[in-house]
């Protein structure tokens, strides 16, 4: 992995910081995790208004052939949107993090 692999990364985002955030959340970054980071960064770069439900649907569609949301929850047990956005250096959309519903981020 190098910065060229992340053309849509937010300003001041780094691979090292991402690995540290993931480690603090109990996640060891592997190829599939990096694919989610790339997908989230790309989605946010192309959409001005982010809706949690639409983002979840977009992730489901993008990763459908690799197991869809079930696989994404295996990679990011705190939620592919909530945990994924934090790891990707993106502010999670409203309603993504709600401790009463089990979000762990």
Q: Could you give the CA distance from residue 100 to residue 87 in angstroms, rounded to a whole number?
A: 21
pTM confidence score? 0.86
Tens digits of residue pLDDT in 28-84: 999 999 999 999 999 999 988 888 889 999 999 999 999 999 999 999 999 999 999
Taking Cα atoms as reference points, which of 4, 30, 3, 18 lies closest to residue 85?
Answer: 18
Q: Which two tokens stand for residue 28?
A: 């060891």
Give Cβ neighbours of residue 64 (< 8 Å, ≥ 6 apart). Answer: none
Question: Using H for helix, E for strand and C for coil, what is the string for 68-90?
Answer: HHHHHHHHCCCCCCHHHHHHHCC
């Amino acid at each position: 992995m190098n910065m060229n692999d992340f053309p849509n990364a937010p300003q001041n985002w780094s691979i090292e910081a991402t690995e540290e955030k993931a480690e603090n959340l109990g996640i060891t970054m592997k190829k599939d995790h990096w694919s989610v980071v790339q997908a989230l960064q790309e989605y946010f770069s192309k959409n001005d208004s982010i809706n949690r439900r639409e983002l979840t649907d977009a992730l489901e569609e993008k990763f459908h052939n690799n197991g869809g949301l079930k696989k994404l929850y295996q990679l990011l047990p705190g939620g592919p949107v909530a945990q994924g956005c934090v790891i990707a250096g993106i502010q999670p959309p409203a309603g993504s993090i709600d401790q009463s519903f089990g979000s762990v981020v």
